[in-house]
Amino acid sequence: MKKNIHIVILIAAVIAMALFLILTFAHKAGNGNAVVKQTEAQEQETSVNREQEAYYGCGIEEEGHCPHCDQGIKDAACICGGHSFMEKGEALKNCPICKKPLKKIISKDLPKEVKTAKAAPKVLYYRNPMSPEITSPTPMKDTMGMDYIPVYEEGQVSVGEAAQEGQAVSRVHLTKDQAVLSGVVSEAVSKLKLSKEIRTVGRIAFDPGLTVAQEEFLTALETRQKVSMSPDPDVILRAQDLVDKSKIRLRLLGMGDEEIAQLEKDKTAQIGLVLPEDKAWVYADVYEYDLGWVKQGQAAEVAVTAYPGEVFGGVIKSISPVLEPKTRTARVRLEIDNPQRKLKPEMYVDVVIKAVYKDQSGNEDVLAVPRDAVLDTGLRKIVYVDIGDGTFLGKEIKTGPEASASINGQKFTFYPVLSGLEGNEKVVTKGNFLIDSQSQLTGGMSVLWGGAQEIKTEEQTASQGAAPVATQHQH
């Protein structure tokens, strides 16, 4: 009996244990399903949140600018990155500013850093659009009803900056797009050998008058020699006076001091002035504006129609001290080779004088700037120096005469720079007129307009013109 009771108790315990295990397993299974459901719900919620946090923008980061930021207006819906609008909330079909289609951008694709636009520049004063030297502290209109142009602080140069920038007369800033559209090209200034070919016409000299004057000079020398031992000092003085006057006449007829000294040494008149000899004389006319290039001893080439393709070499011997008033030319005397005495007196010739520019120290390598880089106002010459980042400084320079230089087998026109540039700058050679116009558009004074204004100011000063309008003041 006891044995049966023990068996029953054992079976009951096993059954209880089994029920316990079944219940425990069922409970755990239920909890697992709840966890899975909860995880799925959280993921769905996260997905919804991500969907709600999505931004929409045109995606343009280089084109244009944000008008809100540029005007200093804060806008919570705009986290501008150039022109990339990203608005939180419902999807928009088009950008409200540029009207281009918008695309969805999730949070992870948003830019980590957003460029902040500069605050609106401060207006310094307002400038008359027709007379830039007339300014006003407040907005106003001129006599024709045109609005004054605001001049902003950003475009001005302080006294300290001007000293550091080499006394710049103007300063212009262009954006990258403006520089491209303007076709701005800059070139570095460098030292070059400058030269010029002066082309003119002349004739083979037939000058009996000069030959006679030379003979008279030689006679005066001979007379002075003969009376040098005379006891009468007045005779010696008259003989010397005759020699001096003969020299003056030779100079007026075009002979230089070196030629006269050679004539005094040789004691023989130049027969080639009246008859063909092994050396011929050429009289060429050089215009006044080219006289700075012409020097004694320079080489020259002569060609005549009688001998096509043949060139006769020569040297400049003298330059007339007096200009011809009607033609504004000076006579240049050249001595040239005359092989076989081909060249006859009074033949017409073409003359090419090859001149090389030298600075005041005699150096042939000089700092030069391209002619296209120079804006000539008539009173001064201006170049725009590219200092980088789209900024250009207008600098006044002083130049020598226009010349040419050979670069890679091609000839280009340059000006030698006397002052205003140091030699390590880049100057604008194309687009400088547009840069100067931009200076006027942004409220600065155009250097070309400034040149005209300088003339106007001089005229007003000379005539003591009227004072400016009372409501305006001048800078």
Tens digit of pLDDT for each residue in 84-93? 444 454 555 6
Q: Does any domain span residue 116?
A: no
- Is 120 within 8 Å of 113 (Cβ atoms)? no
Residue with the larger pLDDT of the pair 14 and 373: 373
In the prediction, which pLDDT does 48 show?
41
In the prediction, which pLDDT does 19 show?
65
Residue with the larger pLDDT of the pair 148 and 238: 238
In the prediction, which pLDDT does 154 show?
55
Residues 230 and 338 in one domain: yes
Residue with the larger pLDDT of the pair 19 and 378: 378
pLDDT in tens, 135-172: 888 888 888 888 887 776 654 544 344 444 445 677 78
Q: Does any domain span residue 316?
A: yes
Reply yes or no on whether the pLDDT at 344 is more than 90: yes
Q: Does any domain span residue 188?
A: yes
CB atoms within 10 A of CB 161: 12
Q: Does any domain span residue 426?
A: yes
CATH of the domain at 207: 2.40.30.170
Mean pLDDT of the chain: 75
Q: Does any domain span residue 167?
A: yes
For 83, half-sphere exposure in the C-beta direction (CA atoms, 13 angstrom radius) is 13
Total structural domains in the chain? 4
Calculate mean pLDDT across residues 29-57: 48
Reply yes or no on whether the pLDDT at 71 is more than 90: no
160 phi, psi to nearest 5 deg: -65, -45
- Out of 302, 330, 356, pick the residue that ends a domain: 356
Reply yes or no on whether the pLDDT at 333 is more than 90: yes
In the prediction, which pLDDT does 454 show?
45
Residues 221 and 333 in one domain: yes
Kindly report which listed range (175-184, 240-249, 283-292, 433-442) carries the lowest average pLDDT score: 433-442
Domain containing 76: what range? 54-111
Helix/strand/coil for 313: strand
Residues 89 and 27 in one domain: no
Residue with the larger pLDDT of the pair 172 and 247: 247
Kindly report which listed range (123-127, 324-328, 435-439) carries the lowest average pLDDT score: 435-439
Reply yes or no on whether the pLDDT at 465 is more than 90: no
Give the Cα separation of 266 and 276 in Å (integer): 19
Residues 268 and 370 in one domain: no
* Residue 43 CA from chain centroid, whole number: 64
Reply yes or no on whether the pLDDT at 3 is more than 60: no
Residue with the larger pLDDT of the pair 134 and 17: 134
Residues 206 and 83 in one domain: no
Closest alpha carbon to 356 in 188, 200, 191, 198: 198
pLDDT in tens, 183-212: 888 998 999 999 999 999 999 999 999 999
Residues 225 and 296 in one domain: yes
Reply yes or no on whether the pLDDT at 415 is more than 70: yes
Residues 214 and 346 in one domain: yes
- Out of 34, 49, 64, pick the residue that ends a domain: 49
Residues 338 and 452 in one domain: no
Q: Does any domain span residue 122?
A: no
Residue with the larger pLDDT of the pair 292 and 170: 292
Give the Cα separation of 268 and 256 in Å (integer): 16
Residues 263 and 315 in one domain: yes
Reply yes or no on whether the pLDDT at 450 is more than 50: no
Residues 59 and 105 in one domain: yes
Residues 295 and 178 in one domain: no
Residues contacting residue 250 through CB under 8 Å, at least 6 positions apart: 210, 213, 214, 217, 259, 260, 263
In the prediction, which pLDDT does 361 show?
87
Calculate mean pLDDT across residues 303-316: 95
In the prediction, which pLDDT does 230 show?
87
Give whichever of 53-67, 79-93, 107-121, 158-172 has the largest mean pLDDT. Answer: 158-172
- The position carrying tokens 């054992």 is 10
- The position carrying tokens 């009246």 is 274
Residue 470 pLDDT grade (very low, low, confident, very high; cuts 50, 70, 90): very low
Reply yes or no on whether the pLDDT at 472 is more than 90: no
Give the Cα separation of 408 and 411 in Å (integer): 8
Calculate mean pLDDT across residues 212-238: 91
- The position carrying tokens 């919570």 is 76
- Out of 356, 385, 401, pick the residue that ends a domain: 356
Residues 185 and 204 in one domain: no
In the prediction, which pLDDT does 466 show?
45
CB atoms within 10 A of CB 164: 11
Closest alpha carbon to 391 in 173, 176, 177: 173
Q: Does any domain span residue 135?
A: no
Give the Cα separation of 394 and 384 in Å (integer): 4
The fraction of the chain above a pLDDT of 70, given in percent, is: 63
Q: Does any domain span residue 132?
A: no
Residue 311 pLDDT grade (very low, low, confident, very high; cuts 50, 70, 90): very high
Return the structure tokens found at 327.
Answer: 């033609």
Calculate mean pLDDT across residues 316-334: 94
Give the Cα separation of 253 and 248 in Å (integer): 9
Give whichever of 123-127, 343-347, 395-399, 442-446 has the largest mean pLDDT. Answer: 343-347
Residue 446 pLDDT grade (very low, low, confident, very high; cuts 50, 70, 90): low
Residue with the larger pLDDT of the pair 52 and 440: 440
Calculate mean pLDDT across residues 343-356: 95
Return the structure tokens found at 217.
Answer: 């000079």
